[in-house]
Amino acid sequence: MSTHRGAAFLDQPYVDPNPLPSSVPHVDELGATSAPLKSASFFIGQHCKDVNEDFMLCKAENRDPAHCLKEGRKVTRCAAEVYVVLLHLPDLPTLPPPLPTQSPADSSLSIGKIRESCLAEFDAHWQCLEKNNQYFQACRKPERALNQCVFTKLNLSKTIPGSPEGQPQVHEKKNPIFTRVQK
């Protein structure tokens, strides 16, 4: 004998009613969908490598979520720096301050330059990902244009962690095995 339970769908997203303590400063979320974040993920990973490693070391050190709030805020701010530059946001509600290890004058990110040059490439790539079920292999052409633009303007190159040394990266191959249409 089995029973059937009807599906329950919430029409509102769950919001935790308990506010954070006042000792925890507020950090704005990125507010992006998965496609733009996936498009910028390798550049965010490269630019924010030190901050991400600090966060992961903190998480390995102590499993208490409150222990790593400071490092988590740094990760969010660093990702916002890269994401805002790529997304061409006209006015941010609050632009995060530069990280303590980075002075605004020597920052490798220039919002003005990227707004002038890489907006079209970034939009083309994340919209391609959105239309092709988030598969990178279906969006190699716009990805090459975005990678080249970001490399020339920001001096950030896309490298995939764990890929073999001395071999071309999968996104740089001329005749990949996996393509949009399999032969």
Interval 125-142: pLDDT, tens: 989 999 999 998 889 899
137: nearest Cα among 147, 129, 145: 129
For 1-39, write each residue's pLDDT tens digit.
567 777 777 677 777 788 877 877 777 777 778 888 888
Helical axes 140-154 vs 34-47, angle rounded to 10°: 40
Q: Tell me, what's the pLDDT at 50?
A: 93
For 68-116, write each residue's pLDDT tens digit.
888 998 988 888 877 766 655 544 434 344 444 443 333 444 333 445 5
The CA distance from 130 to 15, in Å, is 26
Instruction: For residue 1, count other CB atoms closer than 10 A to its CB.
Output: 2
Residue 115 identity (one-letter amino acid): R
As separate numbers, helices (DSSP H) first and strands (DSSP E) second, the chain gives 6, 0
